[in-house]
Chain A
Amino acid sequence: MRCPKVKRLLSRYSDGELKGCPASEAIEQHLKACSGCRAELGSMLSAKNLVSSQERIKLKDGFLGRLKDRLRPQPEIVRLRWVLDAGDLARRIIPVPAFFIAVVMILLFGQLRKTQELPGGDIDILNIYADPIAAFEADYF
C-alpha cells in the first residue's frame, strides 16, 4: 500500500473502524517502514486526544424540575390560547384577501387615471393642478 492511500485510511484506522479488515494489516506493515505516515498517525492521535479530553459539563441541579415547569400547561396561556390561535389564523389568512384587494385597487386606480372625464373635457384629474390653464377651465367652465 502506498502513502496517499494509507493517509486516506489513517482516520478510520485510528478510530479502530478497520479492525479485522485486510487493509488494517497492510497499514500496519506500511507504518513499520514509513516514518512520514507514522508521524501523520502521531499527529492525528494527538489531535484526537486534544479533542476527546475536552471539558464535559454538568447541568445545574434541578434540571428535571425546570423541565417539568415548562411542560406544565400555564393557566393564563391556556385561557388566552384562543386569542393566540386566532392571531395565528389571522396572520395566515389575511395576506390572501389583502393581496387581491391590492391588485383590484391597482387595476381600478389605473383605469381611473385613463378614463376619468371631467366637465371641462378629457382632463387627467390627477395632473390637473400640474397644468394651471386646465385647472382654471375645470373650475370655471
Chain B
Amino acid sequence: MSNLMDMHKDDDCLIGLFLSGDESGFDMLVKKYQDYVANVAYSLLGQGHSRHTDDIAQDVFISVYKNLRSFKKESKFSTWLYRITVNVTYNYLKRASRYVSYDEAGINDVPATASDPGRSRAEQQLVRQAIESLPFKHRTVIVLKEIEGLPYKEIASILKCSIGTVESRLFRARCILKARLSHLIKKEGCV
C-alpha cells in the first residue's frame, strides 16, 4: 500500500498523457493498479463468484477509460478507482443474486493466489467465508481497511460517508468476525 501512496504522485501525469490522446498513459495506469483492483474485487466477490474477478477488473478499467475525462481530481485517482471497483462489484453481485446460485463456481477457475505459507488452505477458506458472510457494506470496510490497509479518511472518501460511519461499520464487522472465527483466534493466541 505504501508503494501505492508513493506512486499516486505520477497519476496526474499519466492521466494528462491519456487526456492529450496518448493511450500509453492509460496502459500504465492499468498496469499500476490492476492488482489492487483485482484484490478488492476478489475479496468482495466471495468464493462463489471469484472466477469473475478478471471480468470485474476489466469492467472497472472500461469505466475508467470512458469516464476519465470527467474525473474532477477532487480526490486522489486511487480513491476514485476504489470507488468504481466497489460500485462495479456491488452491481455485479446484485445482478448475479437474481440469476446465479452462489455455489455454482468451480474451484479450479479461481485466480492464482499468493497465500501466506504459514496458514493452511482450510484456515484461509474459513476466514474468507467469515468475510463473505458479512453484509456488503461491512465487508467493504473490512476489505479496504484490513486487506488494502487504507486509513479511515480515505475509506470514508471512497464510500462517501463520514469517518464515524466507517468506524461503526468496522467495529460491527470485527465483532461479527471475532464471533465467527473464535476458534481460530484462540489458536492464534496460543501460537
Contact = CB atoms under 8 A, between A and B. Distances in A.
Contacts of B123: 50
Nearest to B125: A55
B81 interface: no
Given A56-B35, A57-B113, 11 more contacts: A12-B167, A42-B189, A46-B188, A47-B177, A52-B147, A55-B116, A57-B114, A58-B38, A59-B34, A60-B112, A67-B62
B33 to A, nearest CB: 11
For the residues of B in contact with A, the DSSP-based class is helix
Contact of A54 (B35, B127, B145, B151): B127
Interface residues of A, number: 29
B18 interface: no
Contacts of B124: 54-55
21 contacts: A12-B167, A15-B145, A47-B181, A50-B123, A50-B177, A50-B185, A51-B146, A51-B177, A52-B146, A52-B147, A52-B149, A54-B43, A54-B127, A54-B146, A55-B113, A56-B113, A60-B112, A64-B30, A64-B31, A67-B62, A71-B62
Contacts of B147: 51-52, 54, 56
Interface in B132-178: 142, 145-147, 149, 151-152, 167, 170-171, 174, 177-178
A17 B152 contact: yes
B72 interface: no
B151 A17 contact: yes
Contacts of B112: 57-58, 60
Interface string B6-36: 0000000000000000000001001100110
Contacts, number: 111
Interface in A52-92: 52-60, 63-64, 66-67, 70-71
Interface string A22-63: 000000000000000000001110111111111111111001
A8 interface: yes
A11 B27 contact: no
Interface of A: 8, 11-12, 15, 17, 42-44, 46-60, 63-64, 66-67, 70-71
For the residues of A in contact with B, the DSSP-based class is helix
Contact of A15 (B57, B131, B152, B189): B152
Assign chain B's interface to a size class: 35 or more
Nearest to A53: B116
A120 to B, nearest CB: 56
A56 B39 contact: yes
A63 B39 contact: no
Interface in B96-145: 111-116, 119, 123-124, 127-128, 131, 142, 145
Contacts of B111: 57-60
Interface in B38-97: 38-39, 42-43, 53-54, 57-58, 61-62, 65
